[in-house]
Amino acid sequence: MRKTERYPVEGANSLWHIYKTVPFWKVMKNFVVIQLGRYSPSLPFKNFLYSRFLHMNIGEATSFALMVMPDVMFPERITIGKNSIIGYNTTLLAHEYLINEYRIGDVVIGDRVLIGANSTILPGVHIGDEAIVSAATLVHKDVPAGSFVGGNPMKIIYTAEEMAKRRLNQ
């Protein structure tokens, strides 16, 4: 199970309780900042926006491709290590609203991680250093360091040891 904090709700589904969980003006500010970053071609500008105004912890030389969507409600719960690439149109979620509860969890992405285009990272997931996430992957559980994962649902394609052997044989 992912590492999330769970908050049960009564009555209407949890999304109807949204502004009891996060202030409206925070969501509005985050939305504007994220939209600026999503369309900006400048990598340093994106990192500045996300770290300064969304309070995301972003390592040196990390790159956000065009259209990446950080969590609009809890972006401060996202940490990305040094020299990582977050691929085109990837979604990084630190929250999920369900019928009877909502969940919040930290997303931690290590150093030198490659996340392929159109992937979705769910809350409470940790991705280890030097991991590779294939394009269009639903990351619903932790990714071991050095491994290559892909698919929906995500599966380990190669472990760190298998990846090291493949590199030696090239």
Compute the C-alpha angle 82/104/43, nearest 5°.
30
The boundaries of the domain holding residue 97 are 5-169
Query: 83: domain CATH number?
Result: 2.160.10.10
Token pair 């392929």 is found at 116
- Please say whether the beta carbons of 107 and 77 come within 8 A: yes
Other Cβ atoms less than 10 A from the Cβ of 169: the count is: 6
Digit-by-digit pLDDT tens for the chain (170 residues) are 689 999 999 999 999 999 999 999 999 999 999 999 999 999 999 999 999 999 999 999 999 999 999 999 999 999 999 999 999 999 999 999 999 999 999 999 999 999 999 999 999 999 999 999 999 999 999 999 999 999 999 999 999 888 888 878 87
pTM value surpassing 0.75: yes
Structural domain count, the chain:
1
